[in-house]
Amino acid sequence: MNRLIQGIQQFQRDVFPANRELFARLASGQKPEALFIACSDSRVSLEWITQCGPGDLFVCRNAGNMAPRFSRGDDVSATIEYAVSALGVRDIVVCGHSDCGAMKALLNPASLKDMPHVKSWLRNASEARLALRKAQLSQPSAETLVTLTKLNVRLQLDRLSVHPKVQTQLRAKALELHGWYYQIDTGEVEAWQAAEDRWVAVRESRHGLAIGAPQVSQVVGRA
């Protein structure tokens, strides 16, 4: 905890005075670039990856970057609704990542025997797990984990696309959905390109990263 307290002191001493105008502007309201639905994993530093700063990203984090099926009253749906309706975000990014503990637990359900709440939460990704082949499930490899993580991103995009507020904005072409996969050890980010049915390294993309959200039927059975 001392390190965090020292961090606050350093922020107040060095960082805040050097950015006084920025914080004065932010104090009167926010207009973030995008909503991110990302994993809670401490290694996924969205502002670092995107080189953004305070006020740029509206973030909803949970284990496994889930956008559960829309239901009135759940906190992820409320965050999405607020981002779209009140803040007017025009892009939503679902960001999965390498070595994801939630995805590893999905591949090894026995590891969850003492974590009933996590087990219950991970049901939000069960369709992605179902899309894996039997051989992949019986002997999961490092590649299986990547495949599952990417399938889960696509599944959550699909869920997002039928959220009522999102659906309305998609139809009005006022919103785009994006699926990203962040590789921690290389810094690479891949984006799901539905039209091309493949993941593309963001640095290789020449024509933007807009995607059409895939349907669940596309996800299941295509591991």
Instruction: Give least dist CB 121 to Zn ion, A.
Output: 12
Separation of alpha carbons 94 and 151, rounded Å: 12
Q: How many helices (H) does the chain have, and how many strands (E)?
A: 12, 6
Q: Which of 151, 160, 161 is nearest to 127 (CA)?
A: 151
* Residues 20/51, Cβ–Cβ less than 8 Å: no
φ, ψ for residue 125, nearest 5 deg: -115, 10
Instruction: Give least dist CB 179 to Zn ion, A.
Output: 15
Instruction: Give least dist CB 100 to Zn ion, A.
Output: 3
Q: How many residues bind Zn ion (CB under 5 A)?
A: 4
Q: Answer yes or no whether residue 46 interacts with Zn ion by CB under 5 A.
A: no
Separation of alpha carbons 189 and 93, rounded Å: 12
Please, which residue, 39 or 170, has the CB nearer to Zn ion? Answer: 39
Q: Which stretch binds Zn ion (CB under 5 A): 34-42, 66-74, 139-147, 202-210?
A: 34-42
Positions of E strands within 46-101: 57-62, 91-97
Count other C-beta atoms under 10 Å from residue 112's C-beta: 16
Considering only 34, 35, 37, 39, the residue that binds Zn ion (CB under 5 A) is 39
Instruction: Give least dist CB 97 to Zn ion, A.
Output: 6
Please, which residue, 175 or 178, has the CB nearer to Zn ion? Answer: 178
Instruction: Tell which positions 90-119 bind Zn ion, by CB under 5 A.
Output: 100, 102
Q: Answer yes or no whether residue 41 interacts with Zn ion by CB under 5 A.
A: yes
Please, which residue, 132 or 175, has the CB nearer to Zn ion? Answer: 132
Q: Residues interacting with Zn ion, by CB under 5 A?
A: 39, 41, 100, 102
